[in-house]
Structure 1
């Protein structure tokens, strides 16, 4: 079986792709890949200034990419809604939403809405964003996709419904693992609900980058002010990690490859699933628990105030067909 590369991705001319966290790391690399294939890429960035700098860097490497930088702070639900409103006003069609942005293993803090930051940004922000944009995806002719970035660390995760915000006790890695398990549970539950509603042309998949060298690993030690941990993380990246470009391939594969189906989980197929070319894999047993996923969905709607109207989505999908 041949190894999938960007050369295998279809032409994306005329397609619109939203990528969160597009100004750095995996999001930056994926943005460039989508642009090379001809897509219009809406770069959802917490800092518009950093987003514009990233876009200029991409323009220096790629001939005439179609990039649209917009501010979107996933730690602020009002910002998420404002971003989604802007996309809906500007674009009549949306073909792919990549829920990519995230924070990892940082000291405990809270979002603008009072959620523990890792759970709030990695899961709740993307839950709300998808809810605001899903009708535009469903209304778009042809197949559209929602791709949610998780991590192999999700296999260590548990959803602590009694203390989702880790107010009673906080471990930065436990909180990160919970948020990444939530990402996979959300991706699968979204597919279940699309299927139940009879929405056939929009699929939901999850992915993970393996161990990719990005700025994400450094943020925790930096926020802790730990020089030793920063050096240790840099050494690990240099020794074991694959490039950010390779780490972005599973997301691009999940977003574009014809072989991908709703409910798939995509990651690098090499050593310990940490590096290599993308393939469809199996996630943790816990991630396939429909009762846990349904409960998380209900809680997420309550916390964000964002509800999904699948009956209306089904009607829109039938009109398009």
Structure 2
């Protein structure tokens, strides 16, 4: 039976934070969560765009000033959120850069790894105790089919050596999966009821395409409809991971149609590299050292 948005339960009284929520997958996700009764906090770098997005929500929402390319901003955002909330039920790590030219974040990280992975690693770590206060806390990290082309050799957060935009993006999306699965194992190991899942939107048409090469944009305009779906349809995978009461920690959701580009969301097998426990631990260590964020852990070794 195909999962549809109407299958999502009511979320009255729940609080969700969605990053990258001013357009595309993030905005469609925020709209749907709001329509189901959740209060949705929209993490946004541009406050004017954030206010515009809140105005589009069918229900309750607010804006949180958040720039994932600046760990100082991440810390400030989390401090501000703590003044407003005593728990967080759903965190959706959605914001992302795609095929960016070589540049660094405010903290010296390669921009795509810095925003797509490290910014979310820091955000999640700083809010994890609020998530664990929820009776059914969830962290959903949005990856991409591009994770399958990602290499663990490109996980150095500061290196621009032989930089290629596509390779950097692919590595950051692989990092999203490594993080999501490792986080779920660590939550289970400390006895938390909170779970971590991952999702990808397939070939969703979003504002990320504006950064593509002219050739890619021309191809997408002519035959892209064969392999893409709307941002609203792409958001369904994220929404199922965030709301389906039958979803389990460590699952990965994506479109179930041909090539996983389109279709209703289903549980899928992630790329093999994403399940490599040694690489997951390595990335975790690198991420903690890079961000200065430590997560709770049990006394014994996790793996």
From 110, 114, 120, the equivalent of 1:116 is 110
Q: Secondary structure at the match of 2:92?
A: strand
Q: Alignment partner for residue 122 of structure 2, among 128, 145, 152? A: 128
1:161, CA displacement in angstroms? 6.0
Structure 1 contact 166–175 (Cα < 8 Å) conserved: no
Q: 1:230 to 1:166 in 2, by over 3 A?
A: farther
Instruction: Give the conservation status (yes or no) of the 8 Å contact 1:19–1:98.
Output: yes
Q: Give the ranges of 4+ consecutive aligned residues of structure 1 lying more than 6 Å apart after TM superposition.
A: none
Distance in 2 (CA, whole Å) between partners of 1:238 and 1:143 is 37
Secondary structure of 1:125's aligned partner:
helix
- Cα distance in 2 for residues equivalent to 1:134 and 1:53: 28
Aligned pair count reads: 299
Pick aligned residue for 1:187 from 180, 183, 199: 180
SS of aligned partner of 1:148: strand
CA apart distance, 1:277: 0.5
Give me the CA root mean square deviation.
1.5
3-state DSSP of counterpart to 1:310: coil
Which 10-residue stretch deviates more, 38-47 or 234-243?
234-243
SS at match of 2:153: coil
Deviation at 1:204, TM superposition (A): 0.3
Aligned match for 1:76, one of 70, 78, 81: 70
| 8 Å Cα contact 1:212/1:237 also seen in 2 | no
Instruction: Give the conservation status (yes or no) of the 8 Å contact 1:147–1:205.
Output: yes
1:182-240 per-position Cα deviation (integer Å, ceiling 9, x unaligned): 000000000111111122x100001000000001121244xxxxx45443444454443
Q: Identify unmatched segments of 5+ residues in structure 1.
A: 222-226, 313-321
Give 5+ residue unaligned stretches, structure 2: none
Of 85, 90, 95, the residue aligned with 2:89 is: 95
Specify the alignment match of 2:201 in structure 1: 209
| Distance in 2 of aligned mates of 1:130 and 1:76 | 15
Q: Write the distance in 1 (CA, Å) between the matches of 2:155 and 2:95.
A: 26
Aligned to 1:243: 230
Map 1:35-74 onto structure 2 (within 5 A).
Answer: 35-56=34-55, 58-59=56-57, 62=58, 65-74=59-68
User: 1:1-321 alignment to 2 at 5 Å?
Assistant: 2-56=1-55, 58-59=56-57, 62=58, 65-140=59-134, 142-160=135-153, 163-199=156-192, 201-221=193-213, 227-311=214-298
Whole-angstrom CA distance in 2 between matches of 1:304 and 1:270? 38
Aligned counterparts of 1:105 and 1:51: Cα–Cα separation in 2 = 23
Judge which range, 231-240 or 298-307, deviates more. 231-240
TM (normalized to structure 1)? 0.90
